[in-house]
A and B are shown apart, each in its own frame.
Chain A
Amino acid sequence: MSKQYGYLALFESAPAIYHAAQSVREAGFKKWDVFTPFPVHGLDGAMGLRRSKVPVFTLCGGVIGFFTGMFVAWYMGQFDYPLIVGGKPFFSPIFPFPVAYELTILLAAFGTLGGMFITNRLPMHHHPVMNYDKFRHLTDDKFAVVIEAGDELFSESGTREFLESLHPAEIAVITDEEDE
């Protein structure tokens, strides 16, 4: 038995999806999404998305990296095995700076990529939208709005009428079932 996941409205152009997204947002839907083959400039604003949380992960990675670099140089050079080389101090924040700097960037980069996966809940190799028979076009040349059945304002007929008023190329029912 397949459960309805929501309605999908297909659009052919970037301006069309932009205006559709504005209308869906104004209608007050909460559980909905837009699918585009490339990042459409200005669409975040049209959807009313908040600023991404990825920078938090980047900052955490960077801070951990910097202090790891400094700590490693202090621990190894001053604490664990002090060794005089060239009459230089066992530890100083100056000479391990390149090492701490590189580790800042390294861990910040891992934080950024990891943060992107965590905030997007990826990898997720199956999603109901992938059941749509023209899903292939959503990563190629077409655009879609999906309103989920779980939304408070969702109704079988009302949502369909609303989507039709946006003049999409077609409307499809998305079912929540693996098509194997």
Chain B
Amino acid sequence: MPRRPIIENNRNFTWITQKVCGIVEGRTPMWWWVAFVVSAMVASFTLMGLIYLVSTGTGVWGLRNPVFWGWAIVNFVFWIGIGHAGTLISAILCLLKQKWRTSINRAAEAMTIFAVICAGIFPLFHVGRVWFAWWLFPLPNANAIWPNFRSPLEWDVFAVSTYGTVSVLFWYMGMIPDLATIRDRVPMIFEERMSKAKTAFQQFFEKFYFGFRKYFYGILAMGWRGSNRHWSNYEMAYLLLAGLSTPLVLSVHTVVSFDFAVANLPGWHTTIFPPYFVAGAIFSGFGMVLTLMLPLRAIFGLQDLITQYHIDCMCKICLATGSMVGYAYGMEFFIAWYGANPYEGFAFVNRAFGPYAWAYWIMISCNVITPQFFWFKWARENLWLVWILSCFINVGMWFERFVITVTSLANDFLPANWDYFSPTIVDIFTFFGTFGVFGVLFLLFVRFLPLLAFAEIKSVSKQADVHGHH
């Protein structure tokens, strides 16, 4: 059976450049402004929530005995997990020579970075006195006390900050050749715009705007000129960064799972947590990639670059990782029984049939049942269905973190300590607003930076083969 082409309709290099550069070079579409304003308004909820929190105290978050890891930690793990798909696509699929990654890696990496930013907000403010958050880092302070390196929470500081930084480096390096292309097109687009500008004000605006663009893309492109001597080093650096990001992405969610697994709490203290968290993170991340890419593909007409083949691949990864997560849910139950620890056994029965059973069954239905539709070709080809299922995955993975965090804390060893956790309106505002923060950042990315890694897409097209067209 012949391989399905990665680029459909045999599009040539010029078409690919024009298509992707056109997104940042054209006039700002109306929908973009609407989406941007709405996102900014949503983001203001986070701002309001945080201002109220800082001026009052973390008690406004519904944190009280015994649940001191409420929504903040749930949201942190949720957002950081979302990011993992971006790194999986850019790093692991690069090492596995999966050529289809080139069409989606840029946007997925951007998603990673913005998700890490949203994730970082929560532990930062969860420390309580946020103005002392810098004590998390090994910096000299007036108390002369250093961070406790024996604590998984300190490992997490290093894991998440490294993850954010390396993701930015990888994302930026991948963009350099594409930024150079946009830089080289600036004079041409400027002339086109000037010929259309009628009034003096329009001409002044275009001069000002393109002056900015010339320096913005010029500085970011670092003088890239496409020399093959440069490409040789660049490709090596890219491969190395992929090789470095692979253990990184696996370690980040492993360390996040240590935050739970190193504690002695029933339901947390299990060795399955690291692989289970990593699989869940990739699952949720691909859910988010599908949620974002399907509308973008339709809006910008990228069907020839992000083809049904790409969507099939992403759906299959959701299916595989979702099934792994389902297996982990089952295995947790088995070990809780097989381990014969009454507290552990209770923790799991309580999850499924206790006061939080509603959350547990939302989690099971969204995470275990939803991806099973992706076994079927008709489901993968119905893009509305894929989009709706991907949204369910996002919801389900949030509930997974809620179930893990809250049920274990709320009902631990002694019934006298038990309580039922409910979020407050401040919790809800702060979390809701992070979708706006994410939206604002993603819309700015779509508008100003190359959405697809088109230099890489060209290199996997048929015409790039030096031994002629196969």
Contact = CB atoms under 8 A, between A and B. Distances in A.
A158 to B, nearest CB: 23
* Main SS class of interface, B: helix
A140 B228 contact: no
Contact of B229 (A18, A33, A86): A33
A38 B455 contact: yes
Interface in A97-154: 98-99, 101-103, 105-106, 108-110, 112-113, 115-117, 119-120, 122-127, 129-130, 135-136, 138-141
15 contacts: A14-B466, A34-B228, A39-B234, A47-B229, A58-B244, A77-B148, A95-B149, A98-B255, A102-B159, A106-B162, A108-B240, A109-B166, A116-B233, A129-B225, A140-B14
Nearest to A70: B149
A102 B185 contact: no
Given A33-B228, A39-B459, A141-B14, 17 more contacts: A15-B467, A34-B227, A34-B228, A36-B226, A37-B177, A39-B235, A43-B228, A54-B240, A58-B240, A85-B150, A86-B150, A88-B150, A103-B158, A112-B241, A113-B169, A115-B233, A116-B236
Given A102-B159, A125-B223, A76 B149 contact: yes
Contacts of A39: 228, 231, 234-235, 455, 459
Given A52-B232, A109-B169, A120-B234, A37 B181 contact: yes
A39 to B, nearest CB: 4
Nearest to A65: B162
A6 to B, nearest CB: 13
B215 to A, nearest CB: 10
B244 A140 contact: no
Interface of B: 12-14, 17, 138, 144-152, 154-155, 158-159, 162, 165-166, 169-170, 172-173, 177, 180-181, 184-185, 187-188, 218, 222-237, 240-241, 244-245, 247-248, 251, 255, 258, 455-456, 458-459, 463-468
A118 B172 CA distance: 16
Contacts of A120: 227, 229-230, 233-234
A169 interface: no
A44 B232 contact: yes
Contact of B464 (A14, A58, A95, A116): A14
B262 to A, nearest CB: 10
A48 to B, nearest CB: 11
Contacts of A180: none
A77 B231 CA distance: 45
Of A115, A122, A135, most buried by chain B (CB within 10 Å of CB) is A122
Nearest to B235: A39
Interface string A75-91: 01100110101101000
A46 B231 CA distance: 14
A99 B150 CA distance: 10
Contacts of A69: 158
A100 to B, nearest CB: 9
A13 interface: yes
A104 to B, nearest CB: 9
B233 A109 contact: no
Contacts of B466: 14-15, 17-18, 40-43, 46
A105 B248 contact: yes
B223 A122 contact: yes
A78 to B, nearest CB: 10
Nearest to B173: A113
B465 A14 contact: yes
Given A14-B465, A109-B165, A116-B233, A80 B225 contact: no
